[in-house]
Amino acid sequence: MATEAHDDLKGRKYIMKMQLAEIAQALNIEPQDGWNDITVTSVSFDSRKISAGALFVPLIGDNDGHHFVEAAKDNGAVATLWQEDHSDFPEDLPFLTVENSLKSLQQLGRYYLQKINPRVVAITGSNGKTTTKDMVASILSTQFHVKKTPENFNNEIGVPMTCLTMEPNTEVLVVELGMDRFGQLDYLSKLVAPDVAVITMIGEAHIEFFGTRDKIADAKMEITHGLTEDGYFIYNGDEPLLVSRAKDETMSQLTFGNNESNDVTATQIEGHDDSTSFKVAAYPDISFSIPMLGTYNVNNALAAISVGQVFRISPENMEKSLKNFTITKNRAEWVTGKKGEKILSDVYNSNPTAAKKVIEAFSQVPTDGKRYVVLGDMLELGDKAAQMHASVADAIDPSEISGVYLCGDLMKNLGNALQDKLSSSQIHQYGVGQKEQLYSDLDQELTANDMVMIKGSHGIALEKVLVSLIGD
């Protein structure tokens, strides 16, 4: 798409517009007479976030969404799907009877994706997939109208919802695909049928469900199952588990990483307080920079640059977009505490590889005060969870870290491993339900010159500590 045409689209509001008859046809069902001409302008499964003109999709989870249809109607829903095993049909809201509301949501998401027909970039990986998604979207937005996965909408519900929130003028969909079991990426990949599939890395995330990194690699490769016939597979060429599997694939491929044998490699990597600079071997005259702490994030940028090459984005545009891209909240994000202390918030998720890399980067940021680390349990690590938590001690340098605050039963293993490195007064341990005490103890130590790093699995909810530190 030409830049001039892209500029002409800026600032214009586009929304979905489908009649209920079209939705019924997409789901292979017949609407009742009189409802065909109802116009739907959005889709939602949360009755609290319904907007006027919405189709409400009641999903069955911890709560049954069918119980909230009246609230959805009151908030503006004009129609709803209704799972056929629920007999109490709405009396004053048009509905389409479906066999399974979740499968119908997925089917509708696939239909709308095919209707808008953007090119699709799908991204997965044990670490870095959200950051890479943000980088890719920023690069491609220099020439295309791009929609990207919001927040953590990367599963069987979030992916079709991402499709259904595309503006009709979307030219590229950048979608993050999550995984915690075999078959999940196979399904999601076939749902979105990517033109480009990216694997950032293979780590220990979800190893509880897979047992070994080899099996994690097998599951990650499922992202290629829906790849279009002329699609590209982009992956970390430093990972032998991916290199060996890619040899058996026939699609076009690009690799990125530290080894010179990769198609896209970085040179002259330099870490700074809140940014990282580097050069790319293919573009020796251009200096790249990303607004993120940690040289490990360069690989994510290389993956994004590889996607940019497939879409023929100029290196100059890639450089400008990476320098200013917007990071999804709570991913290695610097914020300021109420005392003036600097806080590195990385509370969305955690695993041993990621935790070590962030701690090492945090330890190198200059400060006139002290550095404190707050760590929460890392979940879904299986039988080796104790050992993996203890291994994080390798990244903690007692000359750089003044104290650690550990939250959760599994983090006791790290506390034990640190006893040879830190004094007992520097190791603070808390149960998951003791976050207020953790905050109170940490707050007493902090001064305006200090720095705090916070990281843990989402289920531990360390964002509560973050909110307390930031204050009102």
Question: Binding site membership for ATP: which residues?
Answer: 125-131
Give the span between the Cα atoms of 154 and 349, in whole angstroms.
Answer: 14
Q: Which residues lie closer than 8 Å to 238 by C-beta, 6 or more apart?
A: 257, 258, 259, 262
Cα–Cα distances (Å) from 294 to 347, 355, 466, in that order, read: 16, 12, 20
Give the span between the Cα atoms of 109 and 115, in whole angstroms.
Answer: 10
Residue 235: beta bridge partners? 199, 255
Strands 54-56 and 77-83: what pairing?
parallel
Residue with tokens 């640190």: 418
Tokens of 346: 């990385």
Give the span between the Cα atoms of 39 and 43, in whole angstroms.
Answer: 12
Asked if residue 330 lies in contact with residue 346, where contact means CB atoms within 8 angstroms, the answer is: yes
Binding residues: 125-131
Give the span between the Cα atoms of 22 and 28, in whole angstroms.
Answer: 10
Give the span between the Cα atoms of 396 and 403, in whole angstroms.
Answer: 10
Residue with tokens 């009151």: 74
Q: Of 206, 230, 229, 225, which is closest to residue 216 (Cα–Cα)?
A: 206
Asked if residue 127 lies in contact with residue 354, where contact means CB atoms within 8 angstroms, the answer is: yes
Residue with tokens 């890399």: 357
Chain Cα centroid distance, residue 139: 17
Asked if residue 152 lies in contact with residue 348, where contact means CB atoms within 8 angstroms, the answer is: yes
Angle at 294 between CA 414 and CA 274, to 5 degrees: 120
Cα–Cα distances (Å) from 201 to 146, 242, 267, 316, in that order, read: 24, 8, 19, 26
